[in-house]
Amino acid sequence: MRSTLVAFFLIWLELICLYSAEGFSANGVSESEGMNREAKPNIIVIFCDDLGWGDLGCFGNPTIRTPNLDRMASEGQKWTQFYVAAPVCTPSRAALMTGRYPIRNGMTSAKRAVLFPDSGGGLPPDEITLAEMLKETGYATGIVGKWHLGHLPQYLPTSQGFDSYFGIPYSNDMDKIGGPGYSAEVRKDTSYYPEIEHYNVPLMRNTQIIERPADQNTLTKRYTEESIRFIEDHAAHPFFLYLPHSMPHIPLFASENFRGRSSRGLYGDVVEELDASVGAILDTLRELKLDTKTLVVFSSDNGPWLSYETHGGSAGPLRAGKGTTFEGGMRVPTIFWWPGKIQPGTKQDLGSTLDFMATFTAIAGGELPENRKLDSFDLSGVLFGDQESPRKTMFYWTNAKLHAIRSGPWKLHVKMREAVNYGKESELGKPELYHLEKDISEKYNVADKYPEAVESLLKSMDEHLLDIDPHEDMLAIPIPK
């Protein structure tokens, strides 16, 4: 009996040594996985649709209450000079996903069919997305919300690196099936509330339509609940959650508990529900003790849709809005939050959603693709230290046309679109120059006073055009001199 017990003890001791050598802990998780979990933070990107630079309390709005985002900004970093790569939905989202200007990845809207005839209406499959990059480094990946990078099966999120998808495949005003004209109704009555049956937008889970038309009254609420479930289900391992909200893109919808709450009207109700959504997600992270392990970024895909008047947002002191390459169209409210890691404060450095690719790759321990040109810079030195942003220049593209450039405080326009009706483009007889730090509203053209700056910026635009993949129709764009 004693010899049997000794033999059993020796076998048990041998197994302990074996598991220790293999690096396993008592709960069955390898030590390398545990170390990996500590080293790799969760990443959440909350991306609004048509939210203006001036729509949040922490960015100066006097009537829309955003206590959760205000707290997020005070605990994290508020970036006041942060840009998207295009002033409209699809190309902006494609740039965020790939770290490449839309002219490189093909998602340039009107010119896409000419430049990339084989793209078939979605983000080309050979593009490398944030989800694919993070999945390669061991992340669970999920998207909850609006995709708008292709609605056919081969272009849906589950074909672009995401493990799961819950949301609508494109903008919430598409598939309109009757009803009054939204713009006309808003002008007649600012309290106008649309009917969901006038928008035959599908709600999808992975590749299947589960509701049509989607009940847009509850979209923000359901996106929030789905996001919280994703966080809870993946709390034990690193995850990437992309939450591109459908709001406050028109038609505006809010759940019943938020209607009539804001003095700003329905638009304010919608933004305040988005703020509550952010609060619920951050509270979940705190409750699960994931707040110190999670980077959360909040931003918008472009500026406010001004033609919808009170149903559109505000760019604050910035000129114009959605669809234009003025600051109001492409500078967006942005907050980075990671308690204990990010140094709180307000940053005036230049940054862009293009930079998510390089920044997330750096903090996740991944590798950037080397077989393509990227337009992404690693912002981690600003987020976690006292370094300056490596981004010094921003190019303003729209519809496969290069409209403007910013370098340092200077911004040079060579083409423009009107502030409200962004479908009208104007050729400039000669370039217009603005000093954005002294003239945030782009009111005072100083091109005649600083010809050297004009010449330098025109040269940079020429060099950028030569750096773009050589599509003949794009390279033929004339730049006035």
Q: Would you list the domain boundaries of the chain?
A: 35-386, 395-475
Confidence (pLDDT) at 421: 67
Model pLDDT for residues 411-464, shown as the tens digit of each residue = 999 999 877 767 678 889 999 999 999 999 999 999 999 999 999 999 999 999
Helical axes 266-287 vs 219-233, angle rounded to 10°? 10
Radius of gyration of the chain (CA): 24
Of the candidates 17, 48, 58, 148, the residue annotated as catalytic is 148
Model pLDDT for residues 332-372, shown as the tens digit of each residue = 999 999 999 999 999 999 999 999 999 999 999 999 999 99
Instruction: Determine the Cα–Cα distance for residues 114 and 473; give it in Å rounded to an integer.
Output: 8
pLDDT at residue 1 above 70? no
Confidence (pLDDT) at 419: 73
Instruction: Determine the Cα–Cα distance for residues 181 and 162; give it in Å rounded to an integer.
Output: 36
Confidence (pLDDT) at 420: 72
Q: How far is CA 218 from CA 55, 62, 253, 274, 277, in A?
A: 21, 26, 8, 12, 12
Model pLDDT for residues 110-119, shown as the tens digit of each residue = 444 334 444 4
- % of the chain at pLDDT higher than 70: 86
- What is the number of other CB atoms lying within 10 angstroms of the CB of residue 2? 6
Q: How confident is the model at residue 189 (pLDDT cuts 50, 70, 90)?
A: very high
Asked whether the beta carbons of 170 and 151 are under 8 A apart, the reply is: yes
Q: How confident is the model at residue 470 (pLDDT cuts 50, 70, 90)?
A: low
* Residue 26 token pair: 């008592």
The mean pLDDT of the chain is: 89
| Predicted structure pTM score | 0.89
Asked whether the beta carbons of 203 and 212 are under 8 A apart, the reply is: yes
Mean pLDDT of 103-115: 67
pLDDT at residue 20 above 90? no
Confidence (pLDDT) at 481: 39
Higher pLDDT, 75 or 35: 75
- Alpha carbon 81 to its chain centroid, in Å, reads 15
- The per-residue DSSP string of 378-428 comes to --HHHHHSSPPPS--EEEEEETTEEEEEEETTEEEEEEEE-SS-TT-EEEE
Pick the CATH number of 395-475 from 2.40.240.20, 3.40.50.300, 3.30.1120.10, 2.60.40.420: 3.30.1120.10
- Residue 124: cis peptide before it, omega within 30 degrees of 0: no
Instruction: Determine the Cα–Cα distance for residues 11 and 162; give it in Å rounded to an integer.
Output: 44
pLDDT at residue 310 above 50? yes
Using DSSP's 3-state secondary structure scheme, residue 209 falls into strand
- The per-residue DSSP string of 289-315 comes to T-GGGEEEEEEESS---GGGGGGS---
Please list the residues that pair with 244 across neighbouring strands.
47
- What is the number of other CB atoms lying within 10 angstroms of the CB of residue 109? 16
Of the candidates 48, 89, 311, 413, the residue annotated as catalytic is 89
Instruction: Determine the Cα–Cα distance for residues 276 and 246; give it in Å rounded to an integer.
Output: 15
Confidence (pLDDT) at 25: 27
Catalytic (active site) residue 17: no
Model pLDDT for residues 29-65, shown as the tens digit of each residue = 233 333 344 579 999 999 999 999 999 999 999 999 9
Catalytic (active site) residue 89: yes
Residues in contact with 59: Cβ distance below 8 Å, sequence separation at least 6, in sequence order: 53, 78, 80, 316, 333
At the top level of CATH, the class of 35-386 is alpha beta
Q: How confident is the model at residue 109 (pLDDT cuts 50, 70, 90)?
A: confident
SS3 for 88-136, per residue?
Answer: CHHHHHHHHHHCCCHHHHCCCHHHHHHHCCCCCCCCCCCCCCHHHHHHH
Q: How confident is the model at residue 473 (pLDDT cuts 50, 70, 90)?
A: very low
